[in-house]
Amino acid sequence: MTLEERRKFPGINAQRADIIIAGAAIIETLMEELEISEIKISKSGLREGLLVDYLSKSEFSHLITQMSVRKRSIMQLGLACNFDEEHAHIVSRLALELFDSIQALGIYEFREEERELLEYGATLHDIGMFLSYDTHQSHAYHLIRESSLPGFQPEEIEIIANLAYFHRKNTPKKKHPNLTGLNKDIVKSIRVLSTLLRIAESLDRSHNGIISHVRFYIASTRSLVLEIQAQWECQLELWEVEKQKKYFKKIFGYNFQSKVIIDQGLETLPVLYTF
């Protein structure tokens, strides 16, 4: 076959069509020299081994056998991209607290799998940072989509990748190229979950872990309070959260104001910010 014929052949990645012959020759030679009649391809690879090796040498070694395939896939990709693990976990925790409080209030009905996908999108939202800060959301999107995360369906990968993309700057508008061809349920999940992720990311804008806990509660018929428990003053975080108000109202139909409770040991100082 010519190169162009190989590119069109079913089962061959078009980008690998130029090296497929050399690769096949190496495998054939290996099998002949070792007198091997067949090869079984492992579903795991070097990256899975690196993750297990990393965890076995860390304080999390006892969690290896407890970690699901899906969780392992997410951690593997984050570690491969040298992500800020502490920040990722803080944003993930805050995003889930926002999710749980919205769900408890009954103002939106989430689908069963959306909480888990929000957690994973929050974990990986900054993995593009090692390539470029200014466009790291775009790099994160492509890294996630091209990583073929074991344990995930294609539509789940699309949601996680788009959560990483829309955690800053652009919001998921209907005609955005990322959303072209996706069904309406997937687009709806991206819009709703990215709203919560954008707030969670804002709440750790300084990357100092200032915010201990966060929750929504109802203030009036169409208004919520975002209660923020902080270790000290968090003006930068509040400034960033304020930017998310308009899109939050568009998605959930509620305005909200922020109430900050600063933890000062045995005493707390409540400060009400309205915006």
- Average pLDDT over all residues of the chain: 89
Report the run of H or E that residue 137 belongs to, with start and end: helix 136-146
Residue 52, pLDDT > 80, answer no
pLDDT at 275 (0 to 100): 45
Q: Give the span between the Cα atoms of 131 and 78, in whole angstroms.
A: 13
203 pLDDT more than 90: yes
Mean local confidence (pLDDT), 69-97:
92
User: What is the distance between the alpha carbons of residues 240 and 217, in angstroms, rounded to a whole number?
Assistant: 20
Residue 22 has pLDDT above 80, yes or no: yes
Question: What's the pLDDT tens digit per position in 251-275?
Answer: 999 999 999 998 765 445 555 544 4
Chain position carrying tokens 């790099």: 139
Given a contact cutoff of 8 angstroms between Cβ atoms, the answer to whether 168 and 195 are in contact is no
Regarding pTM above 0.85, the answer is no
Q: Looking up tokens 């090869």, which residue turns up?
A: 39
DSSP-derived secondary structure letter, 239 = H
Q: In what order do the strands lie in the sheet with 223-230?
A: 211-220, 223-230, 255-264, 267-273
Q: How far is CA 153 from CA 65, 68, 114, in A?
A: 23, 15, 13
Give the domains, in start order, of the chain with CATH numbers. 3-33 (no CATH), 81-273 (1.10.3210.10)
Count of CB atoms situated within 10 Å of the CB of 184: 9
Amino acid in the structure at residue 18: D
Q: Which of 92-96, 108-112, 195-199 has the lowest mean pLDDT?
A: 108-112
